[in-house]
Structure 1
């Protein structure tokens, strides 16, 4: 009687050998008609953090622009790199939560981002003319939170140290870095308009490792210490509840005691870019489009 376990192992090894042979045969042709893409992005930017009551406040949607370059490794995998610019903003005054209304803070910030990553296409774009895709990248971005005073003048928030950053009395609170790493990821869909032009729409989240996109994270520091070391202006913009208008159902407040909750560092801040893309496809060798089509039907053996 044959040994079924031994036979199964031999069949498994034979199957794996066949897969390896197929991959070795196909591998040289996976880059046979590699395309380059160069294009642009136009859309919107949003923010999620301590100054919004919901995950995202669409009232503070701002514009975003970008350029990118892509390299098709094969029909399904693409390397992507790009530069993007957007603006994010938020304000307590548009929320309904009493705590946020009393705090009365606001911010705005530019976002500059450079990213490098991969796309995975679910369908063959040349065959189907349309494909959904997902992407993941690593990015370096910069930000600079500011706000407006009661006269409409721009005020830079980081130099004020509104939560005691850089003060000897609060040694654990360091000045936050304005250049940070983020992890962009998301999904989109693209359409092959012609052999060379590709249009699409993309939605991308950005996970950051900072809680200071909005200059808010922890607790209030002692007001007198803040005034003595950073000036009255720092205290004025650490808490703006005394500026609440008389017409509001929230009465003006006074600067909270040292250690009172100002924000929450439980979750880091996020930013979001979404919008439309248009790119021009080129390269891939002579007659690349037809070569790639022939490659798919004739070069790789089938099981």
Structure 2
């Protein structure tokens, strides 16, 4: 009986990701608005469990953004909200290859995993100053009049899934392309989720800046009927669906230790039973 080739079947790769980020939430009308495509970069480590299954750990940065001002919906134009945020994601993902990549030199694949990410939405005021939105409590978070609304966490979880294709360039390098979606557990990636709160209450507790950033319809009076701050309880966003983001792009990985473990294994394999 031959010894198992466990070490040979578990190859390691290190590499990078270069691509784009997109966002889906309360500040875009459609699921993905390509006007708000922004860059993404990442580093990754992949371990081949066998020729069909790999486990990947990655750290990825991207930018998510959206604005009512580019919408064709008059209600969103009148609301006039906007946001931008960096997203820093750490993830652990399983890749399932459809083909034996060592024999075909390429394979389509699907992937599924879990990630944790940090974010911090901000917008620019009329003077062009960057304003962090979470401390303003624009939907009454943390106010005694709204006990059910607590400040949202700036860390949440996502569940990456998607598909791609990768090809072996030589004994060391593998090139891939993938599209990956990230449903999340937060509805505040864009600082918008539920209803407006009373303007005077918000002013008393959080100040004029909070009022100014909670509703910005009065800034578009040259285009529409001058906006009036909505009444307490009027719809600001929708809590029915959580926010999503996506990372799509190219991966390039370098295999450590020379030729693949599966390639070596096939060359060295001997039968277990005669």
Q: Are residue 111 (structure 1) and residue 87 (structure 2) matched?
A: yes
CA distance in 2 between partners of 1:90 and 1:113 (Å) = 19
Map residues 80-229 of structure 1 onto 2, 5 A cutoff. Answer: 80-229=56-205
TM-aligned CA distance change 1:161 to 1:275, over 3 Å:
same
Which among 57, 60, 74 is matched to residue 36 of structure 2? 60
Q: Which runs of 5+ in 1 are unaligned?
A: 1-24
CA distance in 2 between partners of 1:209 and 1:109 (Å) = 16
Q: Which has the larger radius of gyration?
A: 1
CA contact (8 A) 1:197 1:279 kept: yes
CA contact (8 A) 1:34 1:283 kept: no
Q: Are residue 267 (structure 1) and residue 241 (structure 2) matched?
A: yes
CA contact (8 A) 1:107 1:214 kept: yes
Residue by residue over 1:39-73, the C-alpha shift from the partner in whole angstroms, topping out at 9 and shown as x without a partner, is 00000001000000111111010000000001001
Residue by residue over 1:124-175, the C-alpha shift from the partner in whole angstroms, topping out at 9 and shown as x without a partner, is 1111011011111111100000001112110110000000000000000000
Query: How many residue pairs get matched?
Result: 273
CA distance in 1 between partners of 2:260 and 2:118 (Å) = 42
> Which residue in the other structure is 1:18 paired with?
none
Q: Which runs of 5+ in 2 are unaligned?
A: none
Shift of 1:195: 1.2
Shift of 1:30: 5.5
CA distance in 1 between partners of 2:272 and 2:26 (Å) = 54
**Secondary structure at the residue paired with 1:28?**
coil
- Aligned-pair Cα RMSD in Å: 1.9
